[in-house]
Chains A and B, each alone.
Chain A
């Protein structure tokens, strides 16, 4: 089973700064990686899928990159509403299975 390890566990930044979140897979997952944002008390929402494709309605300050085992979510200039927990996710198609990383808590410095 593929394990996703996110780093750092907590990231403290100020509005306007650039955020770089990492997700490492225990073996190659190709481009089968997504990123989710979860604000307090809310359901998660999809930000990025297939490693670098922005989901519908996601602002361009969010970008994803990487392939194989190393992936990055970048938020170019943090807005107040971006402070949340971010999860990476892998999907395998045979057999169908989905795995999440443990999350990165992006907090206001």
Chain B
């Protein structure tokens, strides 16, 4: 079955960097677009970024553009989120998720990984 395991979260000071990883298994990773979605503690869901199945097309929400970079290594079945210049309001659980239809991008996504908590605090 599809499994997505996110890792790399932790406590970091404002202005510092962190890289999240999402290890995928149970499906042909290189065939599906992938997403990052976050959820601040006690708050709702916020889409962060997507990358196409080949890794060539990327989209971001405005508040993370120029600070975050989504990427993937299809040889390692792994999705990444490089987060630079972190701010206190980036504090959240970060989920990775797989699109339900392969071969493109910007589709619905499911399932989601279990999430990894990023806390930005001085």
Q: Binding site of B, secondary structure by majority: helix, strand, loop or mixed?
A: strand
Residues of A contacting B107 in the complex (Cβ-Cβ under 8 angstroms): 91
Q: Say which residue of A49, A91, A100 sits within 8 Å of B44 (CB atoms).
A: A100
A76 to B95, CA, bound (A): 30
Query: Nearest chain B CB to A104's CB is how many angstroms away?
Result: 11
Closest beta carbon of chain A to B9's beta carbon, Å:
14
Interface size grouping (class) on chain B: 20 to 34
Evaluate contact between B115 and A55: CB separation under 8 angstroms.
Answer: no
Q: Are B100 and A96 in contact (CB under 8 A)?
A: no
Q: Are A49 and B59 in contact (CB under 8 A)?
A: no
| CA–CA, A50 and B95, complex, Å | 22
Q: Closest CB of chain B to A36's CB: distance in Å?
A: 7
Q: Report A-chain residues with C-beta under 8 Å of the C-beta of B115.
A: 43
The SS class assigned to the A binding surface is strand
Known interface pairs A95-B59, A97-B59; A102-B44 also in contact (CB < 8 Å): yes
- Inside 8 A of A38's CB, which chain B residues have their CB? 45
Q: Give the interface size bracket for A toward B.
A: 20 to 34
Q: Is B61 in contact with A100, judged by CB distance below 8 angstroms?
A: no
Whether B45 pairs with A36 at a CB distance below 8 angstroms is yes
The residues of B with any CB-CB pair to A shorter than 8 Å are 35, 37, 44-47, 50, 59, 61, 95, 100, 105-115
Residues of A whose CB lies within 8 Å of any CB of B are 34, 36, 38, 43-46, 49-50, 55-56, 87, 89, 91, 93, 95-103
Query: A89-B45, A97-B47, A103-B45 are known contacts; what are 5 more A-B pairs with Cβ within 8 Å?
Result: A43-B113, A46-B100, A46-B108, A46-B111, A49-B108
